[in-house]
Structure 1
Amino acid sequence: MKNKVRTILGDIPKEELGLTYSHEHIVIDDGYVTAAHPEFLLNDKQRISQELSAFKAMGGQTVVDTMPANAGRNPVLSAEISKKTGVNMIIPTGIHLEQYYPKNHWRYHINQKELTQLFIDDIELGIDAFDYGSPIIKRTNHKAGLIKLATDNDAFTDHQQMIFRAVVDAHLQTGAPILTHTNFGKQAFAQGKRFAELGANLRHVVLSHVDRNLDLDEHRRILDLGVSLEYDSFFRWKGEDNHSVDQLLALIESYPEQIVVGMDMAKNAYWESYGGTPGLCYLYPKIKEVLYENGKEKYLNNIFHQTPMELFSFFL
């Protein structure tokens, strides 16, 4: 499995990953998350396929979907969309923020060993067709290709520390990469430090949303740990200043193999196929334009091809 990427349709050599968006929300099925956040509902096969087909026509080849266990995954729908559009989809296991689960959720009642095994089974056996929302587990042949972890603004709780250990244990046993959620980049350094303490392979760990933190020195501290950063707020800034662009331009020369980008379009109002804006096809032309305008065009391949290829491949 080493040097291969596990997509929803099977394993591929990392060299076949192609132009990659590194943090997306492609399928979020109806459930607890969308009941509280109806704007997150993304389960219309036709509309999703339309958006991904436009991405494919632009040259896109792979999207990293980032909703983990029991938070809206639908492995069968994801596989159908991937097959229909020809776009590779990497689907995670792992656990999201506490707010996306009921207060009595099973995540609070299983131990570290059990949680580790759940992650491993998603990776090696297949994702449950019911996404662990039923007392019956019916595994599909569609497997998870990475492990997600999420923390909020505060110091890590004992429960979150348990999840860290389970995530790293599964990571070290399977070789699967790790992707995290940070709230506006908060606790990103603490995340990276904790992964280092637990012995994770930091070349296969990426922390998301860090461009919402405007402290460039903090970005450097995190990158110096050896993890990668994912920026995804290029279309979110209001006014003339695009801080994500500024950060990318400031850091890409010093850390050419540690920065990737995505859209993080969890709201259906961001999708052109749902009648929204800016759509998936916004990002690549935007990054290409700013890199060429600033004489840094040689890093375009790193951001969309080389770094994702190494980051999201298995290391065992």
Structure 2
Amino acid sequence: MSFIRTVLGDIPSAQAGITYAHEHLIIEESFPTLANPDFRLNDVDKVSAELTQVYAAGGRTMVDTMPANCGRNVQKLAEVSRRTGIQIVAPTGIHLEQYYPLSHWRYQYSEDQLTRLFIADVVDGIDRFDYNGPFVERTSHKAGMIKLATGDDPISPHQERIFRAVVNTHRETGVPILTHSNAGRHALAQAELFDKLGGDLSHVVISHVDRNKDVSYHRELLKTGVRVEFDSAFRWKKGEENWTYRLLEMLLPDFPGQITAGWMPPAAPTGNPMVVRRA
């Protein structure tokens, strides 16, 4: 049985409609917002007002991509979903190291501990405190995907531990994987590591890759079977060629079902890898 796990419950994949595959709808006050106050997006009224407009324009599903303990607030995501009708997928997993203090538990937990924490988010429900305190109080709102991130440097041993825990969770629960790549860097290395660890590459989405202009690299990456995410159409400067559109023109004919979208023109076709393959 396949379905999409949203914060308000599981839905059939046919119900997804137009889906934005990478958004940051809620970012609560947290370690990332200490250094970047503009990251804070925690006003439910304002977020709901914007998403009401999205719904009116035809949008139906959004994937929030703020994973565990770096600004995630699943209760606010659920409230926004109730108010707007937008179906929201919440993540578990771990973001870039820069969004956590050096003393964070991500560096202390074993592969098994990380795996059990991620699985609990998917199966039992996300902690309403988002692992900010000594008590865990699981809500009814479950994670529908799992995220990890790599930066500009090669994949580190610590990040490999995160990869293993993420793939363990993916294999145990069927939950799909979404990754952060800095401007597409190490996207192929991510795909190769997922394949080595036994991940289903058709349920892996690698984000931000359209900031990489190397078409041959994109083709090599897509041939692995992963999905890629184009979400940078708005980033190209005035007078500069929009490489997001250019890449779509060159790649869609050969890989029509493997390109997903964050912010994208309404006509851009997208696959929907946010499907959980089994309960």
SS of the counterpart of 1:68?
coil
Asked whether 1:223 is paired with 2:204, we answer no
**TM superposition shift of 1:68:** 0.3
Percent of residue pairs identical: 50
What pairs with 1:237-252 in structure 2 (closer than 5 Å)?
A: 237-240=236-239, 241-252=241-252
- The structure with higher relative contact order (CA 8 Å, sep 6+) is 1
**Distance in 2, Cα, partners of 1:31 & 1:157:** 25
Write 1 or 2 for the structure with the bigger share of helix.
Answer: 1
How far off is 1:249 after superposition?
Answer: 1.2
Unaligned runs of 5+ residues in structure 1 are 264-282, 289-299
Distance 1:67 1:142 in 2: 15
- 1:230-277 Cα shifts (integer Å, max 9, x gaps): 0111011003310111011110110001001103xxxxxxxxxxxxxx
Distance 2:119 2:39 in 1: 27
State the one-letter code of the partner of 1:248.
L
TM-score, normalised with respect to structure 2 = 0.98
Q: How does 1:142-221 map to 2 (within 5 A)?
A: 142-221=141-220
**Offset from partner CA, 1:197-244 (integer Å, 9 cap, x none):** 111011100000001111011011100000000011101100331011
Give the letter for the 1:157 counterpart.
Answer: S
Instruction: Report the TM-score, using the length of structure 1 for normalisation.
Output: 0.86
Unaligned stretches of 5+ residues in structure 2? none
What is the count of residue pairs matched by the alignment? 277
Letter of the 1:314 partner, please give it. Answer: V
Identify the residue that residue 314 of structure 1 maps to in structure 2: 276
- Quote the offset at 1:315 in angstroms: 1.4
In 1: Cα distance, 2:23 partner to 2:134 partner: 29
Using the alignment, how far apart are the partners of 1:210 and 1:262 within structure 2? 11
Q: Secondary structure at the match of 1:122?
A: helix
Q: State the Cα distance separating 1:284 from its structure 2 match.
A: 3.2
Q: Residues of 2 paired with 1:260 and 1:76: CA distance?
A: 27
Q: For 1:149 and 1:204, how far apart are their aligned partners in 2?
A: 14
Aligned-partner Cα distance in 2 for 1:85–1:256:
30
Where 1:102 maps in the other structure, the secondary structure is coil
Alignment partners' CA distance in 2, 1:225 and 1:154 = 22
The answer to whether residue 256 in structure 2 is matched with residue 256 in structure 1 is yes
Residue 69 (structure 1) aligns with? 68
SS in 2 for 1:22: strand
Runs (4 or more) in structure 1 with deviation over 3 Å come to none
> Which residue of the partner structure matches residue 265 of structure 2?
284
- Specify the alignment match of 1:141 in structure 2: 140
SS at match of 1:184: helix
Structure 2 distance, partners of 1:213, 1:246, is 11
- For residues 8 and 249 of structure 1, the distance between their equivalents in structure 2, rounded to whole angstroms, comes to 34
Match of 1:257, SS state, is coil
